[in-house]
Chain A
Amino acid sequence: AQSVTQLGSHVSVSEGALVLLRCNYSSSVPPYLFWYVQYPNQGLQLLLKYTSAATLVKGINGFEAEFKKSETSFHLTKPSAHMSDAAEYFCAVSRTGGFKTIFGAGTRLFVKA
């Protein structure tokens, strides 16, 4: 069975600072990994996904994530936070041959002016 753990339910950064949101997964087979963002009162929007083509994945809005098999991690980063990045971020995992995507508990990102 696969699972995903997001470390830190809340992360606060200053505008212009590095954003780092942590995600660790477990999967018995090569996983597919996703990061989604949810702004208040909206649905989820895909930021990026990993499907084994490249370990460093670039997404929208300046975000990127690196797949590290040895650490079973898929952390999300952005070099410089913007006020508009304040939202809930979900890491998600699914496994080859499966039909279900498992979402992490989410991390709320706060950006201070």
Chain B
Amino acid sequence: DTEVTQTPKHLVMGMTNKKSLKCEQHMGHRAMYWYKQKAKKPPELMFVYSYEKLSINESVPSRFSPECPNSSLLNLHLHALQPEDSALYLCASSQEVQVSYEQYFGPGTRLTVT
């Protein structure tokens, strides 16, 4: 199984809502990532988890809160978002955090903030 799954596929939320994005992989990978991708742009790294511990936070605003409950799951909690946060949010995983390993991406969650 080389699949990374993400739920929901689409999410519309108001600026005062709290919601969560979920990501799951069963490849035994020990590194997991959150990316933000705006239209016609490359993915931008947000967070990296290695062995369930946050290892990289790319200066992401605190309205985005990641969580890694176990080695297979990654969540992104959203609160008080802004319209400019509307984007495709991609989850990825790799065998280890070292950059020689390729990343496996999920299909993404299309987020719209109204």
Interface residues of A (CB under 8 A from B): 32, 34, 36, 41-46, 49, 51, 90, 94-96, 98-101, 103-106
Contacts and interface: CB of A to CB of B under 8 A. Distances in A.
Q: What is the interface of chain B mostly: helix, strand, loop, or mixed?
A: loop
Given A32-B100, A51-B100, A94-B99, A103 B42 contact: yes
Interface stretch (B11-19, B78-86, B104-112): B104-112
Interface residues of B, number: 24
A92 to B, nearest CB: 8
B99 A101 contact: yes
Interface string B43-54: 101001000000
A44 B102 contact: no
A42 B107 contact: yes
Nearest to A31: B99
B42 A46 contact: no
B96 to A, nearest CB: 10
B100 A43 contact: no
